[in-house]
Structure 1
């Protein structure tokens, strides 16, 4: 009976080992499947990020080009802006002179009306 018990124990041990190995294989397969799914999700996110950053890069370059064009335009019109500022100052001076002349004319007119005093 010892031999049959030994065989039975050996078969039970082999069966237990087979079950353990099967469960270990299932567990490893599930982990690998999860890792592959995560890797695919990361690849998808990386592709989306790459496309987004490419679009941002194109838009940034467009902004740089537009700002460069704007700076060149500003440089081109700067002499005109300075001339306009100078003209504004001259107009302000002319207005001041015109007001002073108008005031002087009124005093002369009042003087003439009063009889030359």
Structure 2
């Protein structure tokens, strides 16, 4: 990327061999300040140095982009982990509440069995009370009561002779 934020095509990296344009060591006559060779070599060297600096900037920009990408992925991953940790904490609390409710559920089932037994005993006592009332009525009330009279006989007893 250049200064204005636009990406530029990557140039090949500069090596030591590509900086030097001569195959053999330079002679003293070639390194004179007023010689043609020294100026050309200085231009080549400064151009190579500029290309190397540009490559370093491109590599640094690519590394910076990579670090930004890794940073955002790490941030997202930690957000997911934080959510997962909160969920597991909630799940642990729910598990503890469930264990406590299981204890109460066992108490409720015991109470339910006791209530069913009480209902059974109450039904048996109700039957026994009904039979006892019938027995008492037969032995105490009916022997002293007047037997019911037929309707015709009752009408004959109410008439008087003239």
With the shorter chain as reference, the TM-score category is 0.5 to 0.7
Q: Does 1:47 align with 2:89?
A: yes
Runs of 5+ unmatched residues, structure 1: 98-103
Corresponding pairs, count: 107
**Distance (whole Å) between structure 2 residues aligned to residue 85 and residue 61 of structure 1:** 37
Root-mean-square deviation over aligned CA pairs = 3.3
The higher relative CO (CA closer than 8 Å, separation ≥ 6) is in 2
Q: Does 1:107 align with 2:156?
A: no
Q: From 42, 51, 67, give the equivalent of 1:25.
A: 67
- 1:59 Cα offset (Å): 1.7
Counterpart in the other structure of 1:101: none
Q: Does 1:84 align with 2:142?
A: no
**Distance (whole Å) between structure 1 residues aligned to residue 79 and residue 156 of structure 2:** 107
Q: From 93, 113, 122, give the equivalent of 1:71.
A: 113
Partner SS state of residue 105, structure 1: coil
Runs of 5+ unmatched residues, structure 2: 1-42, 139-146, 158-162
**Distance (whole Å) between structure 2 residues aligned to residue 112 and residue 34 of structure 1:** 104
State the TM-score, normalized to the length of structure 1: 0.68
State the TM-score, normalized to the length of structure 2: 0.52
Counterpart in the other structure of 1:59: 101
**Distance (whole Å) between structure 2 residues aligned to residue 111 and residue 28 of structure 1:** 115
Q: From 62, 68, 77, give the equivalent of 1:35.
A: 77
- 1:7 Cα offset (Å): 2.4
CA displacement 1:39-71 (0-9 Å, x = unmatched): 112111211221123113212320221211220
